[in-house]
Structure 1
Amino acid sequence: MCLIALAVHAIPGQSLVVLANRDEFVARESAVADWWEDRPDTLGGRDLVAGGSWLAIRRDGRFAAVTNVRQGRPGSGEKSRGELVTSFLASDLSPAAYARELKDLAPAYAPFNLVFGHANELLVFHSPTRELNRLTRGVHGISNGRPDAPWPKTRRLGEHLTGLSRLPSQDTLFEWLSDTEEAGIHELPNTGVGTARERFLSPVCIQGADYATRASTVVAVDTRGRVSFCEQPWHAGRPLGRRPFTFTLESRP
């Protein structure tokens, strides 16, 4: 996952709205979003190489999503960052307790941001600094730097989500996630990968032969506990058929 925008109690009638793009090497195999056979209460895509996920939600509203943190050199962690999503969703630890574990587990993974918690209250952990923060009411953007860093792509999505009087149509939300406009050179972050690579990675939706946006996801949880989850896979720069799911939040037994 490389881009997440979240409206936290910021749109009337909605507890949480998430717009996310997963950017990945085209050759890396993955499964489209569905209810998991091994964990039937969990919905999301799956990485078929390491078995993790980039974004998923449980029927009770427990939620997690991960982005990598770009530092200009390959990460040194031994484990796949997607395991962080699956391990949190498989656990019933409180978010605070899981955060304490994260601080010890972080060195085993290449640098990451993890958004986790419940749809009504989320935390974000930035592993390079071991910094933990609650996502306050408002609009937040997380990409491959620090949470809420004003990168062009996070700023563009955040501006779309700001000041809304109602939730836009799904077509509009996916249109925002399909934005392929590159940032100007003066707007680019410096993460050590060079100007050409920074610019290639700067759009909301990346289109490349070997590395590209592989899936766009929209999650909306309204104030009555109704969840709308829709994934739009991408292939060769073209959006494929959307995969919509709806359910109502349940209490854990």
Structure 2
Amino acid sequence: MCIVAIAWQLFDEVPLVLLSNRDEFLARPTEQLHQWPDQPIYAGRDSQSGGTWLGIHQVMRDGLYEQNGRWAAVLNFRDGVQAGADERSRGALVTDFLTSDKSPMDFARQIELQDYAGFNLIIGDALQAVMVNNRGHAPTPLYAGLHVVSNGQPDDGWFKTEKLRGRLRQEVLPLIAEDSSPAYWQDAAYAVLSDNRQAPADQLPDTGMSREVEQMLSSVYIEPVAFDQRQAPLPTYGTRTQSILTLRQDKHKGASSKTAATLVSREASAAATGA
């Protein structure tokens, strides 16, 4: 189901800080974060459909990695409508943007929305970030600030999005303001992404699923749950990958600044926190 938080243009040295939990069926085959040999993409890969949920443009030439600052993330939209067999993989939205030369806004405007099951897509480069979905949210540039989105509309105040927003403001953004070096704040970011506290019953969203399932999916971090097999409760679903993506402005004396993208991830474990 996934959740993404984006601190956009809040810090001069780090104009983008993106945190992501990928929630997925445990049996779905996945390749971990790597440089793709067939496309200029650095990302994890969904082995079933060939796309990805989060990635950056990167290519190796003459033994060196080259980037152009493009990044993208996609989440599904939870409204009880099942994906059709004839619909394209939502992960292709990420790969198509990363390999495109269109601006974020131009790319978002030309998407054939009806070709995909419900999605929230966030795409950007060093200059612009755009959010769009195919459930009524037209392509919209992100304003400078903190944005947290899950599987509903971008402005939905779900328990999990508000929980993540509050903890980021209190525990992570102040650290980045003090020292933007990743070693200074990334442990705190992972700790916040690992919050497994579920929503009180009166704060569950209504997305067409049962209250029991809504409860399972209501935390920032979803511990392995028996999503499909409640009579024989073997874990089938949960948070699988936690990722941090940053864009950093590297400024050199007498030269123009250069934007460097860094994407790191870790496979999720059951060591979540209920803070």
TM range (shorter): 0.7 to 0.9
RMSD over equivalenced CA pairs, Å: 1.8
Identity fraction in percent:
36
In the TM superposition, residue 87 of structure 1 has moved relative to its aligned partner by: 0.9
Q: What pairs up with 1:78-89 in 2 under 5 angstroms?
A: 78-89=87-98
Taking the aligned partners of 2:156 and 2:50, their CA distance within structure 1 comes to 29
Q: Equivalent of 1:230, from 264, 269, 272?
A: 264
Q: What pairs up with 1:106-117 in 2 under 5 angstroms?
A: 106-117=113-124
Taking the aligned partners of 1:27 and 1:179, their CA distance within structure 2 comes to 23
Taking the aligned partners of 2:55 and 2:166, their CA distance within structure 1 comes to 24
The answer to whether the 8 Å contact 2:69/2:260 transfers is no
In the TM superposition, residue 154 of structure 1 has moved relative to its aligned partner by: 1.3
The answer to whether the 8 Å contact 1:52/1:82 transfers is yes
Q: What pairs up with 1:238-249 in 2 under 5 angstroms?
A: none
Q: Which has the larger radius of gyration?
A: 2
The answer to whether the 8 Å contact 1:15/1:120 transfers is no
Taking the aligned partners of 2:271 and 2:199, their CA distance within structure 1 comes to 21
Q: Which runs of 4+ in 1 moved over 6 A?
A: none
Taking the aligned partners of 1:100 and 1:227, their CA distance within structure 2 comes to 25
Counterpart of 1:8, as a letter, is: W
The answer to whether the 8 Å contact 1:61/1:119 transfers is yes
In the TM superposition, residue 43 of structure 1 has moved relative to its aligned partner by: 1.1
Q: What pairs up with 1:2-81 in 2 under 5 angstroms?
A: 2-11=2-11, 13-39=13-39, 41-58=40-57, 59-76=67-84, 78-81=87-90
Provide the residue aligned with 2:62 in structure 1.
Answer: none
Provide the residue aligned with 2:214 in structure 1.
Answer: 198
In the TM superposition, residue 187 of structure 1 has moved relative to its aligned partner by: 1.3
The answer to whether the 8 Å contact 2:195/2:219 transfers is yes
Closer/same/farther in 2, CA of residues 31 and 2 from structure 1, 3 Å limit: same
CA deviations over 1:90-125 (Å, ceiling 9, x no partner): 1112222212211xx111110101001214321000
Provide the residue aligned with 1:179 in structure 2.
Answer: 195
Q: Equivalent of 1:101, from 110, 126, 133?
A: 110
Q: Equivalent of 1:220, from 243, 246, 255?
A: 246
Provide the residue aligned with 1:160 in structure 2.
Answer: 167
Taking the aligned partners of 1:213 and 1:157, their CA distance within structure 2 comes to 15
CA deviations over 1:228-253 (Å, ceiling 9, x no partner): 32101125x369xxxxxxxxxxxxxx
Relative to structure 2, which stretch is displaced further, 163-172 or 89-98? Answer: 163-172
Counterpart of 2:213, as a letter, is: R
Unaligned runs of 5+ residues in structure 2 are 58-66, 226-234, 251-258
Unaligned runs of 5+ residues in structure 1 are 240-253
Taking the aligned partners of 2:4 and 2:14, their CA distance within structure 1 comes to 17
In the TM superposition, residue 130 of structure 1 has moved relative to its aligned partner by: 4.8
Taking the aligned partners of 2:243 and 2:191, their CA distance within structure 1 comes to 12
Relative to structure 2, which stretch is displaced further, 201-210 or 7-16? Answer: 7-16
The answer to whether the 8 Å contact 1:111/1:127 transfers is yes
Counterpart of 1:74, as a letter, is: Q
CA deviations over 1:64-112 (Å, ceiling 9, x no partner): 100000002313361111111111111112222212211xx11111010
Taking the aligned partners of 2:12 and 2:213, their CA distance within structure 1 comes to 38
Secondary structure of residue in 1 paired with 2:96? helix
* Larger relative strand fraction: 1
TM-score, normalised by the number of residues in structure 1: 0.87
The answer to whether the 8 Å contact 2:247/2:260 transfers is yes
In the TM superposition, residue 12 of structure 1 has moved relative to its aligned partner by: 5.4
Q: Count matched residues.
A: 235
Taking the aligned partners of 2:137 and 2:219, their CA distance within structure 1 comes to 28
Secondary structure of residue in 2 paired with 1:156? helix
